[in-house]
Amino acid sequence: MRQMFATLLLLGASSLAAPLAAQIATPERPVTDPKTLESPVNPEARAVPLEDIGNSRGTGGVTWSADGTHVFLSVNLTGRFNIWRTDADGSWPLQMTQSDETQGGLAASRDGKWLYFRQDKGGDEYYDIYRVPTNGGAVEQVTATPDISETALVPGGADGLIALSVKTRSEAQANLAVLAPDGTVRVLTAEADPDFAWTPRVWADGGRTIYTNREKIDSTMTEIWRVDTGSGKATKVLGSEGTIFSLADISPDGTWLAVTTDMEIGRPRAGLYDPAGKTWRWLKPIVWDQSALRFTRDGKALLVESSDDLRSRLVRHDLASGAETPLKLPSGINFTAGSDPRSPDGRSLLVVNMAANVTGELNRYDLATDTVTPITRLALASLRPEALAGSQMVTYTSFDGTRISALVTMPANLKRDGSNPAIVIPHGGPTGKTDDYFDDVAAALASRGYIIIAPNFRGSTGYGKDFQAATYNDLGGGDLKDTIAAKQFLVASGYVDPGRVGIFGGSYGGFMTLMAIGKAPDEFAAGVQWFGIINWRTMYRDMDEVLKAYLRSLMGTPEDNPEGYDRASPLTYIANAKAPLLSLQGENDIRVPRGQAQEVEDILKAKGRTVETVFYPLEGHGFRKRENQLDSLRRTVEWFDRYLKPAAR
């Protein structure tokens, strides 16, 4: 789940009436007959211990060392995301830092002496920059700016400069800056529009120029700029109102820019742009989204991520011949790791393969031999793919004829007798997306006999601009109907008891959970929500400035659109809720402040409903400390077992 919510185009106050439902065109694909769902026979299938899933290890950041001999990782081997070092060929990792705080955003200095990283306080998302010697030693705090968040480190400037993005607490916009080895930060841009943020991408001209993306907060527009780091002079390279031009890389000879754009076709595709001749070369068209990644270091090929609805491939595009060759990786989602996944010698890539039953490990992909070498082996033995439930991509028709894609995780050894429990999992966003990734909650529930469906309801990315924009001023409207249709699809399979279906989600998925149990109180028998929204008015009052800008993009302000805020708030409907509800919330969440969960608790308790709320101290938007990851997983599974398993009924 990759972002809390990307937002949509802010229209004038006169456009704030609720939209009428109409079928939305999406990429052509067949509708799935729910009767074709099959529970496989698998004697290996068993309930995976919650401790094994809750204590599973993951990677929160990665980068190569300057000489390519080591890989640095942020990994939670100790229960905290701290920094470790391993040999590029794989070895037992060496711990480099120790902290209760989460560390990530890794960047190795070009001289090979330092590893820079970011760290916040208790999940508050206001990051300072730190560094540690690459051969080990004391951690140094480089910046100490509690009201400024510093992120997106890109080393490679002249005199050891590192480009970064900076955002002050009092503003929504983010600016481009450079960090000197002595810790001095010099801001280069002066963005006046709160709807835009500058993010550095790649250095050029011997480290004197930084190419950067200037992106609108609602994700509907991105421009490419070139900034002289000495004078701060910024020159627009590509940009057009309402169009995405997102720079991925510059070819080694400076001839081509690798760009992801939605120009002309209205969905992302990878292209090569010649800034001298102002001409384009396009890759072979595909039905789904496509993103430019990096040129190979020899400049002969462009690496691309190509979607296949809920799965993805990594593809090598030969610049001379135009031939496109998929990298030899298993089915699932395949993506590169780190801001620059290429080894310094250009031979290897850092890649991850993941699926519903594949936890995802960091690998080194050899571009010359097309072979994969594992760098990490973090999963516990009980999380073997053959012991976990696999996934299936499905498409169903929603209330207005719109086609909705979803991922179904089907447990083994079930009978098609209408007796099985199920969970619907709406993703965060609303403009996020469910892909075929490993989800610890879904894996734990599926291994205990719950059928899981995770729909990409309207508002999701990956299905065109019209589909993504369909939730504008209609949050909890058509997208909720799409989510209820996911339940109906499972019931039509013949496996599921309609009275034993629960709903679970985090962030916008938590909002959808609250909206579902209040607005459609007879659809779901139990709900669990993590850091979801109950009241958009108090959200707007209490949230961070950048997220206020997001919310203005979705619905305007509460003063401009009071009816829309009320219509979209679960607060309006929650008194009708019947389903038992569990809410889990981080105390330091700046995206969805703790007051949202408290409002839910107070209202439902006053109504005499079954509700339980847990607040986790020193956690933000998501639970990063291992004891809280395990506790939240255990509480979620036990809640559904209590209210959806036959003994409870």
Within 10 angstroms of residue 275's Cβ, the number of other Cβ atoms is 15
Measure the CA–CA gap between 393 and 456, rounded to whole angstroms.
11
Q: What is the CA radius of gyration of the chain?
A: 24
Residue 556 reports pLDDT greater than 90 = yes
Measure the CA–CA gap between 312 and 136, rounded to whole angstroms.
37
Measure the CA–CA gap between 304 and 294, rounded to whole angstroms.
7
Q: What number is the average pLDDT over the span 463-487?
A: 95
Measure the CA–CA gap between 436 and 432, rounded to whole angstroms.
13
Q: Is the pTM here over 0.95, yes or no?
A: no
Measure the CA–CA gap between 552 and 559, rounded to whole angstroms.
11
Q: In DSSP terms, which residues pair with 318 in a beta bridge?
A: 301
pLDDT in tens, 235-292: 999 999 999 999 999 999 999 999 999 999 999 999 999 999 999 999 999 999 999 9
Residue 57 reports pLDDT greater than 90 = no
Q: How would residue 60 be classed by pLDDT, with cut points 50, 70 and 90?
A: confident
> Which pLDDT value is given to residue 280?
97
Within 10 angstroms of residue 94's Cβ, the number of other Cβ atoms is 12
Rounded percentage of the chain residues whose pLDDT exceeds 70: 96
Beta strands 222-228; 209-216: pairing state: antiparallel
Domain positions in the chain? 13-53+383-648, 59-378
pLDDT in tens, 583-613: 999 999 999 999 999 999 999 999 999 999 9
For residue 463, which of 391, 400, 547, 406 has the smallest C-alpha distance?
406
CATH number assigned to the domain covering 59-378 = 2.120.10.30
Tokens of 95: 């711990």
pLDDT in tens, 416-458: 999 999 999 999 988 889 999 999 999 999 999 999 999 999 9
Q: How would residue 91 be classed by pLDDT, with cut points 50, 70 and 90?
A: confident
Write out the DSSP string of 260-316.
EE-TTTSS-EEEEEETTTTEEEEPPP-SS-EEEEEE-TTSSEEEEEEEETTEEEEEE
Counting Cβ atoms within 10 Å, is residue 358 exposed (0-12), middle (13-18) or buried (19+)? buried
CA 491-492-495 angle, 5° bins: 55
Counting Cβ atoms within 10 Å, is residue 330 exposed (0-12), middle (13-18) or buried (19+)? exposed
Q: How would residue 21 be classed by pLDDT, with cut points 50, 70 and 90?
A: low
> Which pLDDT value is given to residue 419?
97
Measure the CA–CA gap between 585 and 601, rounded to whole angstroms.
11
For residue 5, which of 569, 560, 592 has the smallest C-alpha distance?
592
Dihedrals phi, psi of 553, to nearest 5 degrees: -65, -35
Q: How would residue 647 be classed by pLDDT, with cut points 50, 70 and 90?
A: low
> Which pLDDT value is given to residue 6?
30
Residue 469 reports pLDDT greater than 60 = yes
Instruction: Give the distance, in angstroms, between the CA of residue 648 and the centroid of all CA atoms in the same chain.
Output: 35
Measure the CA–CA gap between 123 and 85, rounded to whole angstroms.
24
Within 10 angstroms of residue 241's Cβ, the number of other Cβ atoms is 8
> Which pLDDT value is given to residue 18?
41
pLDDT in tens, 280-294: 999 999 999 999 999
CA 567-570-571 angle, 5° bins: 90
Spatial contact of 458 and 467, defined as CB atoms under 8 Å apart: yes
| Mean per-residue pLDDT of the chain | 93
Residue 137 reports pLDDT greater than 90 = yes
Within 10 angstroms of residue 578's Cβ, the number of other Cβ atoms is 15
Residue 540 reports pLDDT greater than 60 = yes
> Which pLDDT value is given to residue 4?
30
Residue 8 reports pLDDT greater than 60 = no
The residues, any chain, with a CB within 8 Å of residue 285's CB and separated by 6 or more, are 269
> Which pLDDT value is given to residue 648?
47
Residue 105 reports pLDDT greater than 90 = yes
Beta strands 391-397; 371-374: pairing state: unpaired
The residues, any chain, with a CB within 8 Å of residue 647's CB and separated by 6 or more, are none
The residues, any chain, with a CB within 8 Å of residue 536's CB and separated by 6 or more, are 475, 551, 555, 558, 565, 568, 569
CATH number assigned to the domain covering 13-53+383-648 = 3.40.50.1820
Residue 13 reports pLDDT greater than 90 = no
Residue 346 reports pLDDT greater than 90 = yes
Measure the CA–CA gap between 55 and 584, rounded to whole angstroms.
18
